[in-house]
A = this chain, B = another copy of it.
């Protein structure tokens, strides 16, 4: 008996990364494939303490149904943090709490995209966003990018000649998968263009606070004069992912639509998780926490880039990210990273082939490496194993 599923299910497959992660859970494999934050810095002790305080002080309220928008003190704290760090001008009424920023991506598709509408994204872009948007059956157009971000002239060329562009998706800071960051000049040019065409933009910012070098650049949201920017944030990388708390920051008009969607999607985000995070922000020094994370990740990035420079065969291009969790490697065009993934696994090291990050395919000569989730000695050993496979493959 063959059931009749919705048409969208034809587009929806399991994420390739999830499938690779299943293969790479054997302890002997050094996996650069995932995107996990470092568990050794999770605030386990603090969350234990805070869980008790939340239940003692708030009692049953912390376990009851809650308002869809989110726990008001947490919305307030998030708006204040964004105003301080990202130079926005938001109030709690601009914030909706969601179950991780992945839910913000899914809702963005739901709010804006009908079948065959066009969504623009960087080329390459985050695989999880591609999969979330695919549920709404859009066409993807990839905007060419270089080391400074989305290329404004290419964006405008597409906007001039493409009907039904309903949404632009961008990760200006430490992009997943490339680790690249848009320059200030690029941000300014981008804002001028989208204000001219009045296209809403999802600014995905999961790693924004994790900048190792230089100063945090103004977020697109801070430059948003027309209320076009929908900013996605999360505590997954700064506290821990397992509580599933992220947020959407947008104009009240747009946010209202997301609130309707949240209500019918799952009523609200965990009352308990929200109160734990709110109390953590109140009782602990968040800046100090972010500093420790940056120090750890900076060390791991430095070591990975140094080992790559020493070990990789000549002629490969790779990014040296100023923050975030990933670096991105490009082989000469005739090569294909999927071809040597099996060899990698046989040599007990794992990567994600880059092709997955291009919604319209191609670009198989690239791969992504994660450095946040791996102790130093494994970074060195893993890059050595990978270099061996690469040298054999490229010969």
Stretch at the interface among A48-56, A176-184, A290-298: A48-56
B266 touches A100 (CB 8 A): yes
Residue A200 lies at the interface, judged by CB distance under 8 Å to chain B: yes
Known contacts A99-B266, A100-B266; is-contact A113 B63 (Cβ 8 Å): no
Chain B residues near A268 (CB-CB < 8 A): 244
A60 touches B47 (CB 8 A): no
Interface flags, A248-271, vs B, CB<8A=1, else 0 = 000001100101110111111111
A66 touches B272 (CB 8 A): no
B48 touches A64 (CB 8 A): no
B242 touches A270 (CB 8 A): yes
Chain B residues near A286 (CB-CB < 8 A): none
Partner of A264, one of B12, B52, B117, B253: B12
Residue A110 lies at the interface, judged by CB distance under 8 Å to chain B: yes
Q: CA A132 – CA B217 in complex, angstroms?
A: 39
A48 touches B47 (CB 8 A): no
**What is the count of identical protomers in the complex?**
2
In chain B, what residue has the closest Cβ to A65? B241
Partner of A113, one of B3, B6, B59, B128: B6
Residue A18 lies at the interface, judged by CB distance under 8 Å to chain B: yes
A114 touches B7 (CB 8 A): yes
Which range contains the number of A residues in contact with the other chain? 35 or more
Q: CA A110 – CA B61 in complex, angstroms?
A: 32
Partner of A102, one of B61, B110, B267, B270: B267
Residue A62 lies at the interface, judged by CB distance under 8 Å to chain B: yes
Partner of A4, one of B14, B106, B166, B271: B166
B269 touches A68 (CB 8 A): no
Interface flags, A28-46, vs B, CB<8A=1, else 0 = 0000001011011011110
Q: Known pairs A34-B65, A63-B242; list 11 more (Cβ under 8 Å).
A: A6-B136, A39-B61, A40-B60, A51-B55, A62-B242, A99-B244, A106-B265, A128-B264, A128-B267, A242-B272, A270-B273
Instruction: List 19 interface pairs A-B (beta carbons < 8 Å), by A numbering.
Output: A6-B112, A6-B136, A7-B114, A8-B110, A9-B257, A12-B261, A15-B264, A37-B64, A44-B59, A47-B55, A51-B52, A63-B241, A103-B266, A128-B264, A131-B264, A132-B265, A242-B270, A244-B266, A265-B265
